[in-house]
Structure 1
Amino acid sequence: MSVDVVTSIDIDRPRELVAGFVMDPSNATEWYRNIASVEVETTGPLGVGSRMAFRAQFLGRSLAYTYEVVEFEVGRRLVMRTADGPFPMETTYSFEDTALGGTRVTLRNRGEPTGFSRFATPLMEPAMRQVNRKDLQLLKEILESESHRSE
């Protein structure tokens, strides 16, 4: 059984600012509640082949996994796949301009749980959807705050 969760939110900020913030791994712990740390393992600017090690909590478990960037279009799209971790996962961020000058952020997580994780699959999808909605709401609050309005 696979997992495929898509969530979106509209943010009243320009796409370049929103995408730049989301695509910067150093910001992940600010808006992802369950991510404890991110360590970029490669040098240079973020792009295809970049690798990042994450430590997170999900469904009461501590997780450590490494993502590798497999698609990268500045300001538009970022696709990462786990290079190692508890189960194969792909995360996609896409950014579109809205009619009112804001940005629609779409987050997609899909994967095929293996081992013990496959038994928790029926719980994973609704839990991921709920967590992703909360994280995107926090991202919206951060980027629409006064401190980001002056940028």
Structure 2
Amino acid sequence: MLTETVIACPRAEVAAYAGDPDKAPEWYVNIVSVRWRTEPPLVVGSQVDFVANFLGRALTYTYEVLEYSSDKMVMRTAQGPFPMETTYTWESVDATHTRMTLRNRGEPAGFARVAAPVMAAAMRRANTKDLARLKQLLEAGRIQAD
């Protein structure tokens, strides 16, 4: 499942904000909190717990960073009913605009396999809202520089 948007901000700014796990609760609709299992900063091998509310259930899952650069981040979780790989890409459209894509891939197991079509539709709606919120925050300049 691939979702994308163009954000009126330079690529470095979008990547720094969207690639910071601590910022996830600000722009992800379903993410409630984040806890680092490894010490920051984010590098390949970092592990981060995310607590989310999804389809009326509280879920905690651990992502491990597989790839991280100024134009791409890949994270994967293996546990839970819906193991997932999430990829962010950031591409400069011009000096002041960035195309961000959010791609989720996963293979549901057990009962989740039966519910996969409902879960996929809910994820698509959530991803669309997430990128819209990210775009709104970045373009409005309401992010806090660290």
| Contiguous gaps of at least 5 residues in structure 2 | none
Question: Could you tell me which residue of structure 2 aligns to residue 19 of structure 1?
Answer: 15
Matched, 1:126 2:121: yes
Report deviation, 1:101: 2.5
Alpha-carbon distance between aligned partners in 2 of 1:47 and 1:68, rounded to the nearest angstrom: 10
Contact 1:65 1:86 in 2 (8 A): no
User: How far, CA to CA, are the matches of 2:23 and 2:50 in structure 1?
Assistant: 12
1:101 to 80, 83, 96: 96
Tell which deviates more after alignment, 10-19 or 78-87: 78-87
The normalised TM-score by structure 2 is 0.93
Count of matched residue positions in the alignment of Structure 1 and Structure 2: 146
Q: Structure 1 residues 132-141 or 56-65, which shifts more? A: 56-65
Helix, strand or coil: the match of 1:144?
helix
The aligned counterpart of 1:71 is: 67
Give 1:144's match in structure 2, choosing from 118, 134, 139.
139
Match of 2:4 in 1: 8
SS in 2 for 1:62: strand
How does the TM-score come out when normalised to structure 1?
A: 0.90
Instruction: After TM superposition, give the deviation of residue 58 of structure 1 in Å.
Output: 1.0
% identical aligned pairs? 53
**Equivalence for 1:50:** 46
Q: Which runs of 5+ in 1 are unaligned?
A: none
In structure 2, what is the Cα distance between the partners aligned to 1:95 and 1:72? 11
Mapped to 1, the partners of 2:141 and 2:90 lie a distance apart of: 22
Q: What RMSD in Å do the two structures reach over aligned CA positions? A: 1.8
The answer as to 2:37 corresponding to 1:62 is no
SS for the counterpart of 1:46 is coil
Residue 111 of structure 1: how far off its partner (Å)? 0.2
Distance in 2 (CA, whole Å) between partners of 1:63 and 1:86 is 10
Q: Equivalents in 2 of 1:16, 1:138: separation in Å? A: 18
Between the aligned partners of 2:91 and 2:42, the Cα distance in structure 1 is: 20
SS in 2 for 1:84: coil
Give every structure 1 segment of 4 or more consecutive aligned residues whose post-TM-superposition deviation is greater than 6 Å: none
